[in-house]
Chain A
């Protein structure tokens, strides 16, 4: 394939709920090593779009490729594909009945069929990488803070060795004091070359981490460009209004 450095490509995605068009013709590409950030007002379809990309939500129309495999092809084994796409949820979605360590190991033992020892080794690596202290490894999700939960969730996704990470508002459900540390981890991973697509409201973070920012509005990508351009000189009135509003809510994006 000629586009061998394109990790993820979506062409002309549509998704409606009744008469509401959640996604109204979206195409995007993510290149290897690149970090893209999707911003936009609530209800713009950002979350739906992200979940469409690994078919957690099935798009009504459109095609998606991961590297050179078309995942929207009904013959593709979607479970195999999803192993390669790390997904981090806004609400963490840790497995409540499993301790931290098992949360990270279960994908390795049950999906990748690694041995307990191999899985443990890998879990240890990623938990240390995202800074989950060893003293928490035997705790249950309900016994750790939101910030720690999201670290574990990131570790759980990383353990599978994904070729791309999708983050769905990874700090929106966190208490303010944990937001910074989670963003630092995501930034660190992205700087280390992990291909990432991030939905967020944190504009300061977006400016620092993004190679490109996509502004989504009413189910479409209204405009996109490098952070300097899109933040300083937005073309559309809707984009300007959004940045003004977000600055008012979250501060000037420090």
Chain B
């Protein structure tokens, strides 16, 4: 039986994994945002052809399990394109592509919540579509979408643990290593779980705080 002291030794090593977790999450969210926002705009304002393409993208990345996506891209797609990507880069890209699908759904419903009237008003003033989107739509959806977006943060944070399958040195990978080395499972996995929970909690709190600061006064978009 391994002593508690031995386990304690591993704690800094495990917590270092949170840096990798954080990299996965922020990289995935950022890439997802860059993909999701244009996709949502294309889906709402684009022609029929564009709309179908966007729908296909969304269904693919929402429909295929994350684990399958990771294997598919790491061993399938990237190698066949002649790309040699590290597990970390692959994981960020896959998390990002997938989050892009989910984020586009978030932004799409935010666009629909604004309604058509304000776009008509912008166009009646002489703005073109692009100006209306830039000055009227985007500033509003970025605010409206925050509550749903914070949910996406919580989801992608937890999903990032699956990247252990590619050997990314995030917290679960490290916990598993400690379990194998020491033969004790309870404490390392508990530490991994609780630290992800704490990250979820603080991230969501921070986004709540941001939301209450930037939300449009008087407009009741209530938190779920």
Q: Which A residues are closer than 8 A to B by beta carbons?
A: 51, 54, 56, 79-83, 85, 87, 89, 91, 93-97, 106-107, 110-112, 140-143, 153, 156-157, 160
Which residue of the partner chain A has the closest CB to B119? Answer: A93
* Interface residues in B, total, Cβ within 8 A: 22
CB-defined contacts of A94 to chain B, threshold 8 Å: 118, 121
Question: Contact: B117 with A89, CB < 8 Å?
Answer: yes
Binary A-proximity of B136-147 (CB < 8 A = 1, otherwise 0) = 100110010000
Within 113-128 of B, Cβ neighbours of A (below 8 Å) are at: 114, 117-118, 120-128
**Other than the known A93-B121, A96-B118, A97-B139, what 19 A-B pairs have Cβ atoms closer than 8 Å?**
A56-B123, A56-B124, A79-B123, A82-B124, A87-B124, A89-B117, A93-B120, A94-B118, A95-B122, A96-B114, A97-B136, A106-B135, A110-B131, A111-B125, A111-B131, A140-B216, A141-B218, A157-B124, A160-B126
Report the tally of A-B residue pairs with Cβ distances under 8 A: 76
CB-defined contacts of B83 to chain A, threshold 8 Å: none
Residue from the list B131, B136, B143, B216 in contact with A142, Cβ < 8 A: B216
B219: Cβ under 8 A from any A Cβ: yes
Residue from the list B123, B128, B136 in contact with A95, Cβ < 8 A: B136
Which residue of the partner chain B has the closest CB to A106? Answer: B135
Residue from the list B114, B121, B217, B218 in contact with A89, Cβ < 8 A: B121
CB-defined contacts of A140 to chain B, threshold 8 Å: 216-219
Q: Taking A89-B117, A91-B117 as contacts, is the C-beta distance between A160 and B125 under 8 angstroms?
A: yes
Question: Contact: A142 with B124, CB < 8 Å?
Answer: no
CB-defined contacts of B216 to chain A, threshold 8 Å: 96-97, 140, 142
